Amino acid sequence: MIGVGYRREMRDWDMSAVNADFFEVVPENWLRRDRAPLHDLCASGRPVFLHSVSLNLGGQSVINEAFLRDIRALLDELGSPHYSDHLASSGDAHQLYDLFPIPLTMAEVVRVSDRIRRAQDILGRRMAVENATWYTNCGNMTETEFISRVAERADCQILLDLNNIVVNHKNHGLSTLKEFVTELDMSRVSYLHVAGHEFNDQLGMYIDTHSQPVETLTAQMAHELSAKHGLNVLLEWDNDVPELDVINQELACLQPSMTT
Amino acid sequence: MSAAFYDYVRGLTDEVPDGYTLQGMRVYRYLVYLGASQMVEACHPQLREQLGEDVWRLLIEDFIRQSAWNSNYYGDLENEFRDYLVRTTAAETV
């Protein structure tokens, strides 16, 4: 299946005209709002996956039980088959509403996987953690080793974001997309994220903006992994959301029948 | 993650924490600024217009420096900003 992130800009769209098989939403944007649009998507036979941004799995804050119980209720309400957040921090003991790197060390593997286990206990199900974009980080492990060990120890899934791998490769010259996916246990991958990114001249780095079309090599890898492992692919376009026909064009490029 | 990392991100220090790059740390500080600025502007568009770019930047930077936000909801930044204004106004009148 090919899906797309459902964003605020799409609220006035005729969603039956969006050629997606499923949708993904940020639950933090819906827990305190009228969820009729999400129920409409579910009623159209297209599931809604939940992808959080604020669990702060890598941070120092206490795991928020009340919030996770609300997430659990929302998963049940929508019949969502997937829940995820980022393998990152969203602050220290507080929130800063962005995603920050977790040092790639064994001590952090233990600490963070314990936090994921705690979250899964409250959720009453397994969740997935997404490999994140990072702009500077420290530690003595490779990113794939770190992710693999966290996933094994927490017994969680991995939401594999192909765009984040590409951004990290461009910024740091580390693993290529092919090297990265070769090093991961694909049986743990829940589904794939693809997106576009931009170079910021002022900052001198590629930024994970989700505001551009998916690069050809990223789309090709999504095709390959989807065909080989039966994985769903989700298009993220969060900023400067284009018109419906552009989204449909991007979704068409991600369909298994398309070769790019 | 060291406290020094978040001190840099909040603008409490310009000292780059050990093991991290200046270039990357500047990205994180910029992204947090952007997130806070966009949310506050969305709720107070007239305030930004009245203050002008330089004063606005100083205001948001100070708001971030003092931050101890707890909510899982980004939209609650608006409440934090109101509380911040009350705190800073009260401090100035003492």
Cβ distance B21 to A94 less than 8 Å, yes or no, reads: no
Enter the ipTM. Answer: 0.93
What is the per-residue pLDDT for B94?
65
Quote the minimal CA–CA distance from B94 to chain A in Å: 28
What is the per-residue pLDDT for A258?
56
Q: Across chain B, what does the average pLDDT equal?
A: 94
The reported pTM is 0.95
Quote the minimal CA–CA distance from A106 to chain B in Å: 13
Cα A232 to Cα A29, A210, A222, A223, A247, distances in angstroms: 23, 18, 9, 10, 17
Query: Which of residues 13 through 72 in chain B touch A, CB cutoff 8 A?
Result: 18-21, 23-28, 30-32, 35-36, 39, 67-72
Backbone angles phi, psi at A54, to 5 degrees: -125, 10
Task: Give pLDDT tens digits along chain A (260 positions).
Answer: 999 999 988 999 999 999 999 999 999 999 999 999 999 999 999 999 999 999 999 999 999 999 999 999 999 999 999 999 999 999 999 999 999 999 999 999 999 999 999 999 999 999 999 999 999 999 999 999 999 999 999 999 999 999 999 999 999 999 999 999 999 999 999 999 999 999 999 999 999 999 899 999 999 999 999 999 999 999 999 989 999 999 999 999 999 865 54
pLDDT band at B2 (very low <50, low <70, confident <90, very high): confident
Cα A253 to Cα A50, A220, B13, distances in angstroms: 24, 9, 46
What is the per-residue pLDDT for A12?
92
pLDDT band at B1 (very low <50, low <70, confident <90, very high): low
- Domain boundaries of chain B, sorted by first residue: 3-93
- Provide, as residue numbers in chain A, all residues whose Cβ is less than 8 Å from the Cβ of B73: 28, 31-32, 54
Rg (CA), chain B: 14
A112, A120 Cβ separation under 8 angstroms: no
Closest residue on chain B to A52 (Cα): B72
pLDDT band at B66 (very low <50, low <70, confident <90, very high): very high
Quote the minimal CA–CA distance from B2 to chain A in Å: 9
Give the architecture-level CATH label for domain A2-254. Alpha-Beta Barrel (3.20)
3-state helix, strand, coil in chain B (%, to 5): 75, 0, 25
Cβ distance A54 to B73 less than 8 Å, yes or no, reads: yes
Per-residue pLDDT reduced to its tens digit, B19-47? 999 999 999 999 999 999 999 999 999 99
Interface check for A98 against chain B (CB to CB < 8 A): the answer is yes
Q: Which of A28, A138, A205 sits opposite B27 (nearest CB)?
A: A205
Whole-angstrom distance, CA of residue A21 vs CA of residue A5:
11
Per-residue pLDDT, averaged over B6-15, amounts to 97
Q: Which of B1, B27, B74 sits opposite A97 (nearest CB)?
A: B74
What is the per-residue pLDDT for A190?
98
Six-digit token pair at A177?
């997309």
Cβ distance A28 to B19 less than 8 Å, yes or no, reads: no
Interface check for A163 against chain B (CB to CB < 8 A): the answer is no
